[in-house]
Amino acid sequence: TGRVPNGRQSGNKPRLMLMGQRRSGKSSISGVVFHKLPPSETLYLETTTQISQSSMHSFMDFQIAELPGHIDFFSPDFDQADIFGNIGAVIWIIDAQDQYLDALTQLLNTITYLAQEWPNINVEVFVHKVDGLSEDFKNDTFRDIRQRIQDELSDLGYDNAPVSFHQTSIYDHSIFEAISKVIQKLLPQLPTLESLLNSLCSSCRIQKAYLFDILSKIYIASDTSPQDTTSYEVCSDLIDVVVDVGEIYGWARPPVDGKTGDQRTEFNNHACESMVTMEKKGHKYLYLREMNSYLALVCIMSDDNPMERKVLIDYNVGVFQEALSKVFQWK
């Protein structure tokens, strides 16, 4: 078409487009992930009727748009370049608690359209609302949806369309994890970040390390060792603890008897740091350190006693932070 290729070029501005049928959960997802809406409040969301844009100013300026289910973007009323021109990924939401055959047809149309016109856009299928389902039913549904789409695509000759599948719910961490993976694919720096994290892990005996965007709790990279969901959860929850406690107690107190206030003598620890040690010996501990005002490193350590090795950790984390600032050209 002669247009500038879309998507991955847009640097630190991952642009996402949420699509899917009415009530599939698009507004809920954008509310919960990008606006900190409590999941239970999504019951009061009104139906979105227009293409709505919102952005989140954070480490990356995430841009997220929502395309209401009833809008037929094939119609000539729409400027498709306007809609898809800058998009890195389309997230297609399927309500797993509902009949999904119609949705699959729509999804398939979208995938084939994108594959022809905007081949650089990733399609990320979220099999959504899996919270209400039994484990078996959930897995069967997921497999069924993936199988049907893949079969149809290969029948149509689109075996290589960039389509991935995720199971999500706004009631647990799965939605954040899925969005994280979607965004990571759009980050040109990902391989560098991963290898930096890998070397940090091996030098400090870290079991799992995540680099989080603090505001959204999306992780933009992790080391490449295998992970289970609960590692992400426990690290992301530590951010909650630190952010929430910081919100409660991080205020400028008046000086009292010339004592508190700004008498931050000795070690003025401006980068926030947090550590949790477990009671039972042999249980791991958690470590968090702010990298800049948007990013935090959160690690699951595999040692018993953090204090003994604190100096080593501080040193290596310092090195990591330095490398990070080069990758992203801070300062």
Partner 1 sequence: MMSTGSSSKRQKQRKVLLMGKSGAGKSSMRSIVFSNYVAKDVRRLGATIDVEHSNIRFMGNLMLNLWDCGGQDGFTESYLTHQRSHVFASVAVLIFVFDVESREFNADLINYASIIRALYEHSPGAKIFVLIHKMDLIASQHRTSMFNERSEHIRQVSHDEGFGGKGEGRGKEVEFWGTSIWDQSLYKAWTRVIYFLVPNAGVIEGLLRQLADVVEAHELILYERTTCLMVTHISRPYETEGNKHPDRFEKLSAILKAHKQSVAKHTGMPAGSANFAELQIKTGEFMFLITRLTENTNLAVVLPSGEARYNAARINIALAREQFGELDIPTGKSVQRDRA
Ligand X SMILES: Nc1nc2c(ncn2[C@@H]2O[C@H](COP(=O)(O)OP(=O)(O)O)[C@@H](O)[C@H]2O)c(=O)[nH]1
Binding region for partner 1 (CB under 8 A): 38, 40-41, 44, 131, 171, 230-231, 233-234, 237-238, 240-242, 244-254, 256, 259-260, 263-280, 283-284, 300
Is residue 8 within 8 A of residue 33, CB to CB? The reply is no
SS3 88: coil
Q: Please report where in the chains the tokens 């389902």 appear, as a residue.
A: 133
Indicate which single residue of 169, 216, 222, 236 sits in contact with ligand X (rule: CB under 6 A).
Answer: 169
Segment 46 to 65, residues that bind ligand X, using CB under 6 A: 47-48
**Beta strand ranges found along 109-174 (DSSP E):** 122-128, 163-168
Cβ atoms of 111 and 163 within 8 Å: the answer is yes
SS3 of residue 226 by DSSP:
coil
Residue 98 is a binding residue for ligand X (CB under 6 A):
no
* 92 beta partners: 19, 125
| Residue with smaller CB distance to ligand X, 7 or 25 | 25
CB of 174 to partner 1, least distance (A): 13
> Closer CB to partner 1, residue 49 or residue 260?
260
Query: In whole angstroms, how close is the CB of 230 to partner 1 at the nearest point?
Result: 4
Give whichever of 169 and 231 is closer to ligand X, judged by the CB atom.
169
Q: Does 129 help bind ligand X (rule: CB under 6 A)?
A: yes
Minimal distance, residue 292 CB to partner 1, in Å: 14
CB 174, CB 25: distance < 8 Å: no
Amino acid at position 271, single letter: A
Q: Would you say 104 or 234 has its CB closer to partner 1?
A: 234
Q: Which is nearer to ligand X, 87 or 103 (CB)?
A: 103
Decide if residue 45 touches ligand X (CB under 6 A). Answer: yes
d(CA 124, CA 145): 13
Residue type at 111? I
Per-residue binding letters, 1-40, with ligand X (x by CB under 6 A): -------------------x-xxxxxxx------------
Cα-based torsion angle of the residue sequence 35, 68, 14, 113 in order, rounded to the nearest 10 degrees: 160
Classify residue 25 by its DSSP letter.
S
Task: Work out how close the CB of 243 gets to ligand X at its nearest, in angstroms, rounded to a whole number.
Answer: 23
- Asked if residues 6 and 120 have their Cβ atoms less than 8 Å apart, the reply is yes
**Do residues 169 and 175 touch, judged by C-beta distance below 8 A?**
yes
The reply to whether 132 sits near ligand X by the rule CB under 6 A is yes
Q: Which of partner 1, ligand X, none interacts with 295 (beta carbon under 5 to 8 A by kind)?
A: none
Interface residues toward ligand X, by CB under 6 A = 20, 22-28, 42-43, 45, 47-48, 128-129, 131-132, 169-171
